[in-house]
Structure 1
């Protein structure tokens, strides 16, 4: 299949709904359903919902499990966070069970009932898994943040690459959680990746209007992936206060491990300033550790303690239908090329 110019990023945790996926499709883009944090059964239900809403191709994104975190580092961070938990009347988990995000069951389910497009974040499938998906006709996209990761994804048999620059909101998709993300701006990173692979490239990071999309197309990408731009649309289920903060926040964005143990870009707030210096490498263990704190902050509407993932162009995110936004982005990009 030919990849559309506009791709909606798979935003795990609630924002990317089946309705959002379908609306992006109807607007002429490619909608992506996130599998992260879902069980295989819950993912199957959402795939079914997407199929009820659109007959066009759509994608599913998988989180690739990494090695377990250093337990001592996670335990030390728990102690650092304990006063915060006591202040807000919540308990932090004392033991965090191993979590592979139901990887094996999801792979089995997606092989039994294939989807048109599958992308991977935080790593790559095994050679046997990649070959199995190829055999059932699923187009596979590897998320990469460095030329070295692009080489590995090419050798793994990916059909295309999503090149994620440092401007992107949410988690940076490094193949190893301890890796230091490449800090080159997206246009430079695109050029460096293009030099090591012949695969089609989808650019991601800080893209929110047609001019930005046209710029990455001129730089050699075949498409642009946007996430933050869709957070305020009608079909998004992002918390309303979060949506408002995207437009009103003046404090900028920053990359932090404080909420999940993996580098992720979000609106800078007091929680990040207070705890980032002590945050360890440790995904998904830190994600589970801070979950009660994040849930309590959301209940209170405390923007200084919520995780508010956002790319650098967050103030350009607009309200309205996702289909209408997609159509507008495609028209703007065409006019700017």
Structure 2
């Protein structure tokens, strides 16, 4: 089997996980220049912002980088469900003197589109990764046409087999420990989700393409353990969130550096889809998973004004504090130095 480094054109088998909301091109540039694959999260970028970020990214590195997109199907807005959600949040609206009638409903994340593909074609990124399955075949064909390598996340063996059957070049085995959104797409049953070191060897045995381990890997020992279990590489996100190149907010940085980071949970309160974050007030009081939350990504608009008000007062009670279960590797180090440290026990050089 071709090595991950040969497939992606990089020196080290490490991918910096794309983390929307806490990074831009600067983190990706630093990791790519250090020999890994830096990633740019694109799901929250307008087409104009995507163009600007890609221009800055390509100006900052001559090495391969990854651009990441969601591939969900946008839901049809449901006013009845939105009303239920606003009712659930009503006590908080009163607490912060927010008029719910003034909250504009709307999407918070965009799937990969023909417009995004148009922009990408000018940059021809070496790696394009997806979350929540894959986009339409005609969009994938456009990525392949410029030689782009396609990655996507699997949270079960069944999803890995599906991705392989649909032609991905490598599979990211996302364990339950991972921070941010679950990549689950063949089912909504969270009981199917496995920890990284249970999922990884099963996926490695089931597929013929390279498998990248993700979730709970926070130091050089974790990297070595993943490689020993058959991973062709690792994808690491949480550990990079305190790097100076990240845009992680002060409140989020404080949470990651505190004892609170030891308690994370999957929650749908912030977007409508399960994602792992540090437990805060709204997660404790509403329960981390709520049937009232609208479909992804429509839950975002209802809670956004609460987040703004609380953050202005200096607290993160309503903020999505995305984090994996193991934040112990978070360090305020330059991303290049952290990348070298993470790979220090890998014997492939």
What TM-score range do you get, normalising by the shorter chain?
Answer: over 0.9
Per-residue deviation at 1:267? 0.7
1:33 aligns with 2:40: yes
- Separation (CA, whole Å) in 1 of partners of 2:313 and 2:236: 29
Per-residue deviation at 1:193? 1.7
Kept in 2, the 8 Å contact 1:178–1:281? The answer is no
Q: Could you report, residue by residue, the CA deviation over 1:14-59 in whole angstroms, capped at 9, with x for unpaired residues? A: x222111111112221100000111122111101001111111101
- Separation (CA, whole Å) in 1 of partners of 2:199 and 2:226: 11
Question: SS at 2:344's partner residue?
Answer: helix
| Equivalent residue, structure 2, for 1:254 | 265
Q: Show structure 2 runs of 5+ residues with no match.
A: 1-5
What is the aligned counterpart of 1:2 among 2, 7, 10? Answer: 7
Per-residue deviation at 1:280? 3.1
**CA shift in 2, pair 1:281/1:97, >3 Å:** closer
How many aligned positions are there? 335
Per-residue deviation at 1:176? 5.6
Q: Could you report, residue by residue, the CA deviation over 1:187-232 in whole angstroms, capped at 9, with x for unpaired residues? A: 1111222233111011110111000011111111111111110000
- Separation (CA, whole Å) in 2 of partners of 1:331 and 1:134: 33
Alignment of 1:293-312 (within 5 A): 293-312=306-325
| Equivalent residue, structure 2, for 1:268 | 279
Alignment of 1:277-296 (within 5 A): 278=290, 279-280=292-293, 282-296=295-309
Kept in 1, the 8 Å contact 2:160–2:171? The answer is yes
| Equivalent residue, structure 2, for 1:142 | 152
- Separation (CA, whole Å) in 1 of partners of 2:120 and 2:175: 28
- Separation (CA, whole Å) in 1 of partners of 2:97 and 2:228: 52
Kept in 2, the 8 Å contact 1:74–1:282? The answer is no
| Equivalent residue, structure 2, for 1:75 | 83
**CA shift in 2, pair 1:100/1:296, >3 Å:** closer
Per-residue deviation at 1:88? 1.4
**CA shift in 2, pair 1:177/1:266, >3 Å:** farther
What is the aligned counterpart of 2:20 among 12, 32, 40? Answer: 12
Q: State the TM-score, normalizing by the size of structure 2.
A: 0.89
| Equivalent residue, structure 2, for 1:326 | 339
Per-residue deviation at 1:322? 0.3
Alignment of 1:118-137 (within 5 A): 118-137=128-147
Kept in 1, the 8 Å contact 2:85–2:294? The answer is no
- Separation (CA, whole Å) in 2 of partners of 1:69 and 1:145: 26
Question: SS at 2:171's partner residue?
Answer: strand
- Separation (CA, whole Å) in 1 of partners of 2:272 and 2:67: 24
**CA shift in 2, pair 1:91/1:193, >3 Å:** farther
- Separation (CA, whole Å) in 2 of partners of 1:50 and 1:319: 22
**CA shift in 2, pair 1:133/1:170, >3 Å:** same
| Equivalent residue, structure 1, for 2:3 | none
| Equivalent residue, structure 1, for 2:110 | 101
- Separation (CA, whole Å) in 1 of partners of 2:172 and 2:128: 12
Q: Show structure 1 runs of 5+ residues with no match.
A: none
Question: SS at 2:91's partner residue?
Answer: helix
Kept in 2, the 8 Å contact 1:169–1:227? The answer is yes
- Separation (CA, whole Å) in 2 of partners of 1:139 and 1:54: 18
- Separation (CA, whole Å) in 1 of partners of 2:308 and 2:148: 36
- Separation (CA, whole Å) in 2 of partners of 1:164 and 1:140: 16
Farther off after superposition, 2-11 or 100-109: 100-109
Question: SS at 2:343's partner residue?
Answer: helix
What is the aligned counterpart of 1:154 among 164, 173, 177? Answer: 164
| Equivalent residue, structure 2, for 1:114 | 124
**CA shift in 2, pair 1:282/1:139, >3 Å:** same
| Equivalent residue, structure 1, for 2:245 | 235
Per-residue deviation at 1:128? 1.9
